[in-house]
Structure 1
Amino acid sequence: MIFPLSIVSLLGLVCLGLLASPYPYLAPGAVLGLVGVAVLYRKPTWGLLGIVALVPFEGFFKDSALSGTKFVGASLALILMLQLAIHQLPSERLRSNIWRYLIWFMILYMLSLMNSDDLGMSFGHLRELSVGLILFVITLLIGRDLNLDLFAKLVTLSVSLTCVLAMFSTKYQDQGRAAGLLEDPNAFALLIAFAIPLGLLLVIRSPNTLHRLFWGGCCLLLLGGMTKTESRSGLVVLALSLLIGCWHYRSQLTRIRPRHLGFAMLGAAIVIPLAIYAMPAGYIARIQSLSVLSAGAKGHDDESLGRRASYIVVGSQMIRENPLLGSGPGTFPLHYATTGYAKAFSANRKVGDLYRRAHNTYMEVFSELGIPAGLLFVGMLALGLYNLIRARRAWMLRRNWEQTDLMTHLGMSFLSLTLFLMFLSAPSQKYVWIMLALTSVLRLKAEEAPLVEAKV
């Protein structure tokens, strides 16, 4: 392996240079970096799993120029580029039906950027989006080798741990609402909604009672964290996701006997009142406030709903003014700040409160990039869901029920992401782009698997 030897020599010289420099304490870091690069070179899927596990902890590094996620991502990207160049990875792995939408989306994105109302904001948006695009390519290249069971375990554990921090420490709360290590409780609720279907899969697949209790406890922590976020959108998305899961396992309802119904009713009689008692009073009030939607939400009835309604009004106006290319990536806050809504809904009239994002990724994309780019963005996500449906169907034809269940739970998690984008501005969310690439990888892998002949 001549190439890795050259890397070792180069980093060895770097270590010697650091020892001779005014910063010798950086030399051990270079050694650790060398070890990390060597591990990633041999096991690149570990890098992607590391990024997945670090996503909920990104708040620890928000003020750092070099975070763990950035280091792993940059190293992994360089390693995979070099492995492609020396043909250690086949270029066929980049094949995906998502490209037909993504390429045209990026062409329209760049055209919109060139006609942006504020180039500084647009380049900042492009820098954030480029992280998601890099993760998309990385997942395409190594997604076939990814251990999906370990993927589910890392997501469940990492999000559960941040739930513990958010539930029992006010440091990780925003005005009483759990935000984890993120600044927005709704962004934290998105992570929880993504993790719960994977946690339930681990409960179902647990080999023994001890494992089942452990993963069941993680699911309870996730549900507690969701409650503590007081996110109404999270409750709606989670309920829909669980209904889909119940429909998938409907065939197993035939195993329920009449004697089981009594225990189920007793459990419901105990759990439901306890859940209502444990639920924060503020969350119950926020859920009850949804009733104003039937009469039309007003700012004085519910400030949050009124503010979201104002985003739709401003976004619709931006679409009418620039239907083809929009106002430019990342420029929604610029337009919103000039309206009367910004001052009306600003709590303390600070500049940061005036420049607000749309809190709706779809509205943000349509208003900033134009209708064609918005349709392509929606098309990518819809195609991702369709890929998982096709992968599930392919495994059902092959009578591989374990993989069928896995596709169902991954589909529930990905659906949670796509639905949550209606309540949150997160076009560059890492899980979205990782899952988007993974959908096409899983479909190809399922359809390439040999069919099992039916036994007579």
Structure 2
Amino acid sequence: MIFPLSIVSLLALVCLGLLASPYPYLAPGAVLGLVAVAVLYRKPAWGLLGIAALVPFEGFFKGSALSGTKFIGASLALILMLQLAIHQIPSERLRSNIWRYLIGFMALYLLSMIITDNLDMSQSHLRELSVGLILFVITLLIGRELNLDLFARLVTLSVSATCALAMLSAKYQDQGRASGLLEDPNSFALLIAFAVPLALLLVIRGPNLLHRLFWGACCILLLGGMTKTDSRSGLVVLFLSLMIGAWHYRAQLPRIRPRHLGFAMLGLVLVIPLAIYSMPAGYIARIQSLSILKAGAKSQDESLGRRASYLVVGSQVIREHPLLGSGPGTFPLQYATTGYAKAFSANRKPGDLYRRAHNTYLEIFSEVGIPAGLLFVSMLGVGMYNLVRARHAWLLRRNWEQADLITHLGMSYLSLLLFLMFLSAPNHKYLWIMLALTCVLRLKAEERPPTETRA
């Protein structure tokens, strides 16, 4: 790539200006920024990999006007707009069967903003959601060049690193619960649940014993981090996704010989008691508390009672505003006016009174209305259907390697969808990247007739 003389001259002027300013140490940053933009122009898929790897580390840049993900995302958006304009990237890549649902959802979303109970909160919610929408478009454009094996490695390593930090230092814990570099332990548990299927894929695909041991150690670190979060929802989601993965590999059970079965049983006898012994007593108590879910908002467990109160308040808002909701991002305002907010608030601080629903689906239905909520759920369901179709296409062509890859990506995607029932995260970066990736994977799998078999 050759830069015009005008751009080089502009860069020189910027560097001279920075050298003459009170911040001369920023001058080298202009050169490094240009180099980074040049690399992204040639290899935009590297930028998407960088965003995926930096998601667990976003806590380092909290409150910063410019972070790594913001710089990469903004640069990628501008570069891809330019490449679309000069036809370096075909516009056909934007084709997706999700657009019809997404456009309908956004139309109702904007209508809901017109009648919102609090415009400032709705505008803030829209700014957060726009990040996910931009990532959706970026992934559609460059998802074909994305190295999915490298994607799995980077996500596994980054989440494992934050697990190590959370387990070794109380600085990365919230009242004894591991939160990594995030504010909420449940948000951290979501990252772990997303990364575990990818780590297992790396264990299975390891070219030798050393690689398998390394990725196996990452799996153990991820599972240890999950127990440290004390997240009941995380454990449930992880268990369900792993059961689906086990069902996928059921065809390989005949390959297991009696001696292998004996070693497997011996491993279970050793691992299960060790896991129970090493699991924190508080976590076991939290899991046992799930048996009192039927008590609802009157539950003696404060966390479960508070979550039940979100359902009560959300249902009331849906009944009062069924078509367009109360306005995007206004659930905390609705909740703060109820007696539940005062009952479950320890110190009456705004952060305790104005609480989100901790359920993305409930939040969407109550804030934007039932029609928009149905479109949102349909959009996510179509993403899962795309993965099922892609896996089916690869199985018909007897490409077991690609089918396994789709299965593990599907497990990670399903973990996100299930976790949305326990967490308010409609703008989560992994969610929108994976949603667009489901379209790309299906199109790639169905490019050639499924009757073609791989030798």
TM bucket normalised to smaller: over 0.9
Cα distance in 1 for partners of 2:338, 2:7 equals 55
Q: Which residue of 1 aligns with 2:156?
A: 156
> How far off is 1:182 after superposition?
0.4
Q: What letter corresponds to residue 262 of structure 1 in structure 2?
A: G
Q: What letter corresponds to residue 169 of structure 2 in structure 1?
A: S
Q: Is the 8 A contact 1:360 1:423 kept in 2?
A: yes
Cα distance in 2 for partners of 1:5, 1:263 equals 67
Q: Is the 8 A contact 2:125 2:329 kept in 1?
A: yes
Q: What letter corresponds to residue 425 of structure 1 in structure 2?
A: S
Name which of structure 1's ranges 118-127 and 24-33 shifts more when overlaid on structure 2.
24-33
- Describe the superposition over 1:51-92 as per-residue Cα deviations: whole angstroms up to 9, x where unpaired: 000000000111211111101100111011011111111111
Residue 333 of structure 2 is aligned to residue 323 of structure 1 = no
Q: Is the 8 A contact 1:336 1:355 kept in 2?
A: yes
Q: Is the 8 A contact 1:346 1:354 kept in 2?
A: yes
Cα distance in 2 for partners of 1:167, 1:303 equals 25
Cα distance in 2 for partners of 1:453, 1:420 equals 37
Q: What letter corresponds to residue 281 of structure 1 in structure 2?
A: A
Q: Which residue of 1 aligns with 2:435?
A: 436
* Residues 93 and 178 (structure 1), Cα distance of their counterparts in 2 relative to 1, 3 Å cut: same
* Residues 453 and 366 (structure 1), Cα distance of their counterparts in 2 relative to 1, 3 Å cut: closer
Cα distance in 1 for partners of 2:307, 2:349 equals 19
- Describe the superposition over 1:186-222 as per-residue Cα deviations: whole angstroms up to 9, x where unpaired: 0000000000000000000000000000000000000
Q: Which residue of 2 aligns with 1:274?
A: 274
Identity fraction in percent = 83
Q: Which residue of 2 aligns with 1:210?
A: 210
Q: Is the 8 A contact 2:397 2:454 kept in 1?
A: no
Cα distance in 1 for partners of 2:373, 2:85 equals 34
Cα distance in 1 for partners of 2:283, 2:81 equals 48
Segments of 5+ residues of structure 1 without an aligned counterpart are none
Q: What letter corresponds to residue 255 of structure 2 in structure 1?
A: R
Name which of structure 1's ranges 7-16 and 151-160 shifts more when overlaid on structure 2.
7-16
- Describe the superposition over 1:381-421 as per-residue Cα deviations: whole angstroms up to 9, x where unpaired: 00000000000011111111110000000000000000000
Secondary structure of residue in 1 paired with 2:446: helix
> How far off is 1:338 after superposition?
0.5
Residue 46 of structure 2 is aligned to residue 52 of structure 1 = no
Q: Is the 8 A contact 1:298 1:306 kept in 2?
A: yes
Q: Which residue of 1 aligns with 2:78?
A: 78
Q: Is the 8 A contact 1:93 1:140 kept in 2?
A: yes
Q: Which residue of 1 aligns with 2:11?
A: 11
> How far off is 1:7 after superposition?
3.8
> How far off is 1:300 after superposition?
4.8
Q: TM-score, normalised on structure 2?
A: 0.98
> How far off is 1:299 after superposition?
4.0
Cα distance in 2 for partners of 1:343, 1:7 equals 58
> How far off is 1:450 after superposition?
4.6
Q: Which residue of 2 aligns with 1:252?
A: 252
Segments of 5+ residues of structure 2 without an aligned counterpart are none
Q: Which residue of 1 aligns with 2:421?
A: 422
* Residues 227 and 29 (structure 1), Cα distance of their counterparts in 2 relative to 1, 3 Å cut: same
* Residues 134 and 20 (structure 1), Cα distance of their counterparts in 2 relative to 1, 3 Å cut: same
Residue 321 of structure 2 is aligned to residue 333 of structure 1 = no
> How far off is 1:348 after superposition?
1.6
- Describe the superposition over 1:263-309 as per-residue Cα deviations: whole angstroms up to 9, x where unpaired: 2222111111110111011100000001112x423545211110000
* Residues 258 and 11 (structure 1), Cα distance of their counterparts in 2 relative to 1, 3 Å cut: same
* Residues 454 and 413 (structure 1), Cα distance of their counterparts in 2 relative to 1, 3 Å cut: closer
> How far off is 1:9 after superposition?
3.7
Q: TM-score, normalised on structure 1?
A: 0.97
Cα distance in 1 for partners of 2:263, 2:394 equals 34
> What pairs with 1:118-267 in structure 2 (closer than 5 Å)?
118-267=118-267
Q: Is the 8 A contact 1:152 1:198 kept in 2?
A: yes
Q: Is the 8 A contact 1:299 1:307 kept in 2?
A: no
Count residues with an aligned counterpart.
455
Cα distance in 2 for partners of 1:282, 1:322 equals 40
* Residues 34 and 3 (structure 1), Cα distance of their counterparts in 2 relative to 1, 3 Å cut: closer
Cα distance in 2 for partners of 1:236, 1:9 equals 57
* Residues 270 and 451 (structure 1), Cα distance of their counterparts in 2 relative to 1, 3 Å cut: same
Cα distance in 1 for partners of 2:208, 2:189 equals 30
Q: Is the 8 A contact 1:8 1:34 kept in 2?
A: no
Cα distance in 2 for partners of 1:7, 1:383 equals 44
Cα distance in 2 for partners of 1:66, 1:57 equals 14
